Chain A
Amino acid sequence: MLKILKYSFYDLMRSRWSYVYFLFYLALGFVLLFLNQDLSKAVITLMNVIIVLVPLIGTIFGVMYYYNSKEFTELLLAQPIRRSSIFLGQYFGVAGSLTLSLVLGLGVPFALYGLFKSDAIWNFSLLLITGAFLTLIFTALAFNIAISNENKIKGFGYAVLMWLFLAVVYDGLFLMSLIVFEAYPLDSFSLIATMFNPIDLSRTLILLKLDISALLGYTGAIFKQFFGTNTGLVISLLMLLLWTVIPIWRLSYKAKRKDF
């Protein structure tokens, strides 16, 4: 698997898009720091960008890479390599290079600004960790969609719909259900509903770490009670891990049974 990972990774590192993605984060980091003049505020703005953009890029890169490397995959299938190694190698190649672009692109400006001497380092690390998780999760979901759809257009469409649903529609439904069932106690419902969407989960996790939960009112207090503690943090990270592991497991399951 490591060999496939190496080739996929090199392949992506040579392509222009990894650099564009890296330079985008680099520029974003510098601009935010320049405009805000404050690390903590920059982290909050950055969160809003990361929470939406990272899943989108992960989804699109994942689907595109899968379909574009069809020839490479066919060549590898006739070689003495385990099937799951081929697909997992490619997956980690994509997810790895995207994560690297994210971490380096944001890490460099913040480090230069004096991150290591500031209190914001933990918030910033949490931001990068959730960003990495979101990349892994959405690339894995995208690979799953691509492997189940021979037709590129369909695969691409489903992948974008999935992103749209989790990034936008889910929140709308969530808010509407809160309004409709206003009369009932909704604490555990909203906690659980948050867990079932990796984007919401990441956002809540970061917001509450940033100590601005007072803005969220009563629900915020409940959330603070849960996410603000170490148990909550561990459970949330575990949930993100589950969100990563399950799609990867399904990818290797599907890969073993597919005809080429």
Chain B
Amino acid sequence: MIQIERLYKKFGKNQVLRGLDLHIDKGGIFAILGPNGSGKTTLIKAILGMVVPNKGVISVLGKPIKNKWRYRQEIEYLPQIANFPGNLKVKEIIRMIKDLRQEPSDEERLISLFSLEPFLDKKLSTLSGGTKQKVNIVLTLMFDNPLIILDEPTTGLDPLALIHLKQLIREEKEKGKTILVTSHIMRFVEEVADEIVYLLEGEIYFKGSIPDLKTKTGQSDFEHAIAAIAITTTDA
């Protein structure tokens, strides 16, 4: 699904990605974890072509993506902070994205799932953080594409919406889709993720299942296992 070879990216003097290699197979939920500033968002943006790498090759669905844009038709991306043009209404932004992507969508189901009907005629700048995030989720998941990338999808969601989100992610997985998720909420990751990719200082430190990680660190609790990585690496 995604092949990344020797990926380097530098912002000014800050070397964010240092020769990162990553292969993600088709199907399943992959959680990309790592401390703040470890390069998670940069990695995701590089896959989407929003960040241009200094060196290295990224292939999505078997084709290198350099200077390409059509492959984004196959990706649904949920950005980290829902930065929307504030003067648009919720209804208008949904219509606009549909118009731009020109593919079948089922926004009605998601709108009623997250009870967004009362907000459809409101401007995006007047919405609360959590509601914006729900709109964000609707905009991302209303299409039907093989690759889904979710950057901090849980931000600001209430417990009910969180349950719906997990349900949605599981449904998408059952359709055989590949889903990349980043999150700092370990309970959420433990519940949904099939495989963990742990980034540290711009490289892959660990890739494997949650039980593997627990054995490797000698911890029985997932949250402690992740913390154990962070502690051993700061000691070293």
Whether the Cβ atoms of B83 and A71 lie closer than 8 Å is yes
> In the bound complex, what is the Cα–Cα distance between A258 and B96 (angstroms)?
24
Q: Pick the contact of A74 from B73, B79, B96 — CB < 8 Å?
A: B79
Whether the Cβ atoms of B100 and A81 lie closer than 8 Å is yes
> In the bound complex, what is the Cα–Cα distance between A78 and B69 (angstroms)?
9
Whether the Cβ atoms of A71 and B101 lie closer than 8 Å is no
Residues of B within 8 A of A80 (CB): 69-73, 100-101
Residue in chain B with minimal CB distance to A74: B83
Q: Tell me if A72 is interfacial: C-beta within 8 Å of chain B.
A: yes
Of the four ranges (under 10, 10 to 19, 20 to 34, 35 or more), the interface on chain A belongs to: 20 to 34
Q: Tell me if A83 is interfacial: C-beta within 8 Å of chain B.
A: yes
Residues of B within 8 A of A151 (CB): none
Assuming the contacts A7-B96, A259-B50, A259-B52, asked whether A79 and B83 have C-beta atoms less than 8 A apart, the reply is no
> In the bound complex, what is the Cα–Cα distance between A74 and B51 (angstroms)?
11
Q: CB-CB contacts of A48-84 with B at 8 A, as 1s and 0s? A: 0000000000000000000001111011111111110
Dominant SS at the A interface?
A: helix
Residue in chain B with minimal CB distance to A6: B99
Whether the Cβ atoms of A71 and B84 lie closer than 8 Å is yes
Q: CB-CB contacts of A229-260 with B at 8 A, as 1s and 0s? A: 00000000000000000000000000011111
Q: Tell me if A11 is interfacial: C-beta within 8 Å of chain B.
A: yes
Add 5 more A-B contacts to A77-B48, A81-B100 (CB < 8 A).
A69-B85, A74-B79, A77-B49, A79-B97, A80-B100
Residue in chain B with minimal CB distance to A258: B52
Whether the Cβ atoms of B79 and A78 lie closer than 8 Å is yes
Of the four ranges (under 10, 10 to 19, 20 to 34, 35 or more), the interface on chain B belongs to: 20 to 34
Q: Tell me if B198 is interfacial: C-beta within 8 Å of chain A.
A: no
Residues of A within 8 A of B48 (CB): 77-78
Residues of A within 8 A of B18 (CB): none
Residues of A within 8 A of B73 (CB): 80
Q: Tell me if B214 is interfacial: C-beta within 8 Å of chain A.
A: no
Residues of B within 8 A of A15 (CB): 87
Whether the Cβ atoms of B70 and A72 lie closer than 8 Å is no
Residue in chain A with minimal CB distance to B78: A78
Residues of A within 8 A of B45 (CB): 259-260
> In the bound complex, what is the Cα–Cα distance between A75 and B50 (angstroms)?
11
Q: Could you tell me which residues of chain B, from 89 to 108, have a CB within 8 Å of some CB in chain A?
A: 96-97, 99-101
Whether the Cβ atoms of A78 and B50 lie closer than 8 Å is yes
Q: Tell me if B14 is interfacial: C-beta within 8 Å of chain A.
A: no
11 sampled A-B residue pairs with Cβ under 8 A: A3-B100, A11-B85, A74-B83, A75-B97, A76-B100, A78-B48, A79-B97, A80-B72, A80-B101, A82-B69, A259-B45
Q: Tell me if B8 is interfacial: C-beta within 8 Å of chain A.
A: no
